[in-house]
Amino acid sequence: MGSIEGLLREVRSLDATADQASWLSRIDPRATILATMAFILTVVSFDRHAVAALLPLAFFPVVLARLGDIGLARIGRKVLLALPFALMVGLFNPLFDTTPHLELLGQPISGGWLSLTSILIRTVLTVAATLILVACLGMHRLCAALDRLGVPRVLTTQLLFMHRYIVVLGGELGRMNLARELRSQGTSTLPLAVYGSMLGHLLLRTLERAQRIHQAMLSRGYDGQMPQVGLPLSWHWRDTAFLAACLVVLAWLRATDPTALLGRWLMGIAT
Amino acid sequence: MSHHLVEARDLGYAYPDGHPALDGVSFTIRHGESVAIIGGNGAGKSTLLLHLNGVLKPSRGEVRIGDFPISRENLAEVRRTAGMIFQDADDQLFMPTVFDDIAFGLNHQGLAPAEIEARVMRALETVGAAHLRSRPPYRLSGGEKRAVAIAGVLVMQPSILVMDEPSSGLDPAARRRLIRLLAGFAHTKIVATHDLDMVLDLCQRVLVMHAGRIVADGLPADVFADADLLRSCNLEPPLSYGTRC
């Protein structure tokens, strides 16, 4: 819990990158969103035992990060946070699916291990792409673009509010935790009940704040409809070109399996 | 100018848990008056303010703005007339950028984008915050947040400005700027505050609240001279009176 402030700093720093002028920031955010969605669909469309065929897809997040001027190391750290969840999903696959699928250095590899690896690779790829998307666009432009793409405003508004108030609530949690630490005389482990009570307090404070925000909205004429946010977007030929290039490369990777091609080519040289 | 009259008649309000917050509050504030509402913590100041633009509905009595009781039909009109500045600016700055936040109320009036742009920039210049227009609210300092929150209300051109603790948490320079800014607002001002020195600078009339009632209503000089009254309401005379301890 000591790293709450650190986590908030990360949220802010992710936002700060969105203000940078990169090549990608000149592309219509809708094109970037659609390209990322196409990428995610491509990743999940592979067979559940696919491992080698997924690897070339890593080009997409790498290129996207490059175009958006975002350091892969920073994204990598955040991807690690998502991995335990993916691990939970695939943890028991090696136990249930023991049929050997291929041999690696004379060792039979079961389908379960393959699908677990596949799940982990897919998680890394999709989470990284999504994080890069958010870091490139910033929540504001992302939501404006989602709105123009026809996502219900109720959802984009919730995203915006969550993003706006996660910092405020995180700050409250951080202060509460600091107060607890200062009074707990250096003992870092406390009964679970204390944490339960803290979370309960946080929930109540959150509800109260939500109520006050709603009152502030009502005071300023809110009638159930959120106004459109952000500047108007305009689609240029280069947005079409960017999206088309992404789709073509993704379709090619999906259809041809370049890893296998490379393998066959190397084998051809060797023999 | 009866259309900017603010009148409370025997106002009563109890929170859903039964705790009474207002108990028979009555007053009339005329157009252009600058009125402070003072009182200890939990005296009912914030609850009273939330009645003045119809966010809370009284369980007894009524609030009249411009000679009409607040009702469902005139609620939108009332909220445009009475602009409310909240105690915690974070509650009020909910849009992703300063510009969007100030434009929030205007967007609900269906104005043309060019008109919205012009009015937002004018409001930002009034509070001296034009350079903040594309910043996200959470990256502003406390004083900047307050200035932007005020701009978001001023942009609606309200005839009545209702403020909950506008000077709390500001450094002395920001507080002084705020006082100057508010002094320049020619219409009705209603300020709930603990900052009694600001009251002296800004208000011609003081309502003292205690336990959900109005216990005094008069000139600041008269109210602040009554040490017994102030003590009984958990208050002290302002610093500039020099009569403490």
Q: Is the dihedral of CA A143, A149, A151, A153 positive or negative?
A: positive
Q: Is the pLDDT of residue B68 over 60?
A: yes
ipTM for the complex shown: 0.78
For chain B, the average pLDDT equals 89
Per residue in A248-262, pLDDT (tens digit) is 999 988 888 777 778
Write out chain A residues lying below 8 Å of B138, CB-based: 12, 164, 167-168
Is A167 an 8 Å CB contact of chain B? yes
Please tell me the predicted confidence (pLDDT) of residue A183. 75
How far apart CA A268 and CA A256 sit, in angstroms, is 18
Write down the pLDDT at residue A231. Answer: 66
When CB atoms are compared, the residue of B92, B108, B138 closest to A216 is B92
CB contact under 8 A, B86 and A167: no
Which residue, B163, B158, B161, B160, is CA-closest to B146? B163
Query: How far from each other are the two terminal CA atoms of chain B, in whole angstroms?
Result: 44
Single-letter amino acid code for the residue at B103: A
Rounded CA separation B106/A106 (Å): 71
- Say what the pLDDT of residue A2 is: 47
> What pLDDT sits at residue B58?
92
CA B217 to chain CA centroid, Å, is: 18
Structure tokens at A78: 């955040």
Cα distance between residue A126 and residue A39, in whole Å:
8
**DSSP code, position A53:** G
Q: Per-residue pLDDT tens for B20-41?
A: 899 999 999 999 999 999 999 9
- Give the DSSP H or E segment for A71: none
In the predicted model, residues of chain A with pLDDT beneath 50 are: 1-2
For residue A223, what is the enclosing H or E element? none
